[in-house]
Amino acid sequence: MQRLTYHYSALSKQTWFYAGMLYLALSSVVSIQLQLYKVPGYYESQNLLLALTANALGIVFFLLLSLGHYTCYAEYDEEKIVYHNRLLRKQRTFFFRDASAVIFDNRGIKFYDDNEKLIHKEKPLFFISFFRDGKIEAIPLNQFYHKMQQREAETEAPAQFKVYKTFKVVPGYGRKWKYLSFAYACLTIWVFMNCMKPLSVILGLMQTFS
């Protein structure tokens, strides 16, 4: 079976996640040093266990976000498509014979059993999102689109299967998404700049108490 997989939406977004983890890790080191060196005016009022637990949960949160695009994928063959969610350990199966039309729009892939439902944008029989904590891989998507076009060519009226597409550039890869990538780059720089404060505290404490 062939696969539809997801990719992280922007490298700068991934870097932002890692920068957040670095900041929390440095903050944890500062908390440990304050307790270890018994810095007057700080270690007495500090709850080390609470600080480390909060930072650890924050690191896990950022780590899960950075790996979120691995959570879901879809597999398909000539007859069906199976959508998998690794996190929830669930899967949904849809047979192409149950649909009379499929549309590739800006949100994802939607299968319908009636063209009228498609026109009126009603709830589809089956839906695969282009975005799952990341964006869908363009090359596998293009292969699946051609597979649907092949199915359309092989069917005949009155039960002809129709394929529609509303975009030229795969959603998530156009110019406007570069602005989002730039925004995450700015956030990454801001977080890295904030990392300098706990780093300087770490070095200062090491120099003072070593």
Q: What is the rounded distance in angstroms from the CA atom of residue 71 to the CA atom of residue 6?
A: 9
Task: Give Cα separations from 153 to 54, 113, 127, 162, 175 (angstroms).
Answer: 57, 18, 22, 9, 33
CA gap 33, 42 in Å, rounded: 11
Residue-range domain boundaries for the chain: 2-69+188-204, 71-165
What is the reported pTM? Answer: 0.84
pLDDT in tens, the chain (210 residues): 899 999 999 999 999 999 999 999 999 999 999 998 888 887 788 889 999 999 999 999 999 999 999 999 999 999 999 999 998 899 999 999 999 999 999 999 999 998 888 888 889 999 999 999 899 999 999 999 999 999 999 887 677 899 999 999 999 998 888 888 999 999 999 999 999 999 999 999 898 887
> Computed over its alpha carbons, how large is the radius of gyration of the chain?
25
All residues at 6 or more sequence positions from 161 whose CB lies less than 8 Å from its CB, including other chains: 96, 99, 100, 101, 102, 148, 151, 152, 155
